[in-house]
Amino acid sequence: MSQQMTQSEDTTAEKPSLAALLKRAMVDDDDAPTVDDRERYVRDDEDGSVYVIARQISSDFQAARTNMTQRKLHGFILQDIDKLVITAKGKSKEFKFRRFDGRPGGELLSAAAPDKPDQTAGNWHERVFALFPAEVLGKGEKPSAGEPQVVLHIDYYYRNKKTGWLDLASAPGTGAFARSEFTAGWMTLSGDAQALVSEGETLFGSP
């Protein structure tokens, strides 16, 4: 594959691998200069060298970075838990998760009323569990507005062993964020998720 790449400046220097070059080269700019319809220039940001690569290689690399990014919050499904604890404003509420018979999903039963499903809490959590990130931030990366402030925290259990967790957070002027046992860092949520976070804070943060 490295034979498809030629160096335009120092031909005696040791060439980096194609993967290493693409990782640190400026390949995201659609307006970058091209040789023709099949090839384009990329510049190594480390030493300034300029290379010619097949356009398809550049396109495949950019697509892979998007397609390989994990865009889900958990590595388990609802049927893998039997209890969850939701914490907001320093108050924690425990719920038993009872699976539906013959179909996906389940219902939440509070410790205060173990025989009566809490439909309000159940509907809220069903929407939370189905959240899909709009943007994935890297490990240790913070939104431009700064570190999000955690509003709600959820712990998931099966047979009293923690299965996973979820933080729902807000940042001024930027909307809602989430992170979990499955993510590398923060994920930006869609615009309507902020209302879901605020609703949960009211539901579970009240006495």
Instruction: Give residue 138's pLDDT.
Output: 84
Q: What pLDDT sits at residue 6? A: 45
pLDDT at residue number 143? 84
3-state secondary structure of 58: helix
Rounded-to-integer distance, Cα 49 and Cα 60, Å: 22
Nearest-angstrom CA–CA distance, 155 and 84: 5
**pLDDT value of position 39:** 65
CB 22 within 8 A of CB 58: yes
**What is the pLDDT at residue 29?**
47
Per-residue model confidence (pLDDT) at position 54: 72
- Predicted confidence at residue 40, as pLDDT, reads 67
Is the Cβ–Cβ distance between 91 and 149 less than 8 Å? no
Under CATH, which number does the domain 78-205 receive?
2.60.40
pLDDT along the chain (207 residues), means of 10: 44 54 50 56 71 65 48 87 96 95 89 91 95 87 88 97 96 88 91 92 91
Query: Is the four-CA dihedral 194, 105, 204, 159 of positive or negative sign?
Result: negative
Question: What are the residue ranges spanned by the domains of the chain?
Answer: 2-67, 78-205
CA of 132: how far to CAs of 100, 105, 129, in Å? 23, 17, 9
pTM comes to 0.67
pLDDT of residue 137: 87
Of residues 187, 197, 200, 165, the one with CA closest to residue 75: 165
